[in-house]
Structure 1
Amino acid sequence: MEISSVIGAMVIGIVIGVLGRLVVPGRQRIGVLWTIIVGIAAALLGSAIAAGLGVDDTGGVDWVEWLIQIGLAAAGVAALDRTRVRR
C-alpha cells in the first residue's frame, strides 16, 4: 500500500465519520479522534461489503458504496456513544 492511498483512506474516513455522526440524531459524547477512527473503519469495511455485493465498480461515483459506509459509520458512532460512561 502506497502512502498516497493511506492518506486517501484517512481523508475519506474523516469524511465518512463526520457524515455518519451527522446522521445520528442528538448529541454524541465521543471525541473527534474516535469519530475519525470509526470513519476509517467504516470506510474500509464498507468498501469490502460493496466489493462482496459487486456494487463497487460502477465507472462513476459509487453511491451504494458511500451509503453503506455512511450507514456503518452512523452505527459505529451510535454504538460507541452508548458505551461511553455518562457523567
Structure 2
Amino acid sequence: MSLETLLIWLLIGAIAGSLAGIIVKGYGFGLVGNIVVGILGAVFGGWLFGALGLGLSFGIVGTILGATMGAVLVLLIIRFVRRAS
C-alpha cells in the first residue's frame, strides 16, 4: 500500500467517521476514533453493499456515502453492545 493510498483511506475514514458521529448523536470518538470507525465503516459498508448487490459507483462521493453508512451501522452496533452490557 502506497503512502498516497493510506492518506486517502485516512481522509475518507475521518470524513465518514465524523459524519457518522454527527448522525448518531452522542457517539463520536474524537478524531482518531472517528477515523478508525470510518475505516471500519468503509470496510463493513463495502462488504454489505457488495453482498446486497448495491454498488455506489459515484466516485469519491459514493465512497464517502458508503463509508458513512457503514460507520453509522458500526456506531449503532457499538451503542447496542454498550447498552446490553
- Give the shorter-chain TM-score range: 0.5 to 0.7
Larger RCO, structure (CA 8 Å, separation 6 or more): 1
Residue of structure 1 aligned with 2:78, choices 50, 66, 80: 80
Computing the radius of gyration from Cα coordinates, the structure with the larger value is: 1
| Higher helix content, 1 or 2 | 2
TM-score (norm 1): 0.65
Q: Is the 8 A contact 1:55 1:62 kept in 2?
A: no
Deviations 1:5-63 (A, max 9, x none): 011101110000011111113x22x52132221101112333344556362545x5553
Q: Which residue of 1 aligns with 2:24?
A: 24
TM-score (norm 2): 0.66
For residues 1-87 of structure 1, the aligned pairs below 5 Å read 1-25=1-25, 27-28=26-27, 31-32=29-30, 33-50=32-49, 53=53, 55-57=55-57, 60=59, 63=62, 65-82=63-80, 83=82
Q: CA RMSD in A?
A: 2.7
Unaligned runs of 5+ in 1: none
Rounded to whole Å, the distance in 1 between the matches of 2:61 and 2:54 is 11
Shift of the 81–51 alpha-carbon distance from structure 1 to 2, 3 Å rule, reads closer
Rounded to whole Å, the distance in 2 between the matches of 1:49 and 1:21 is 20
Unaligned runs of 5+ in 2: none
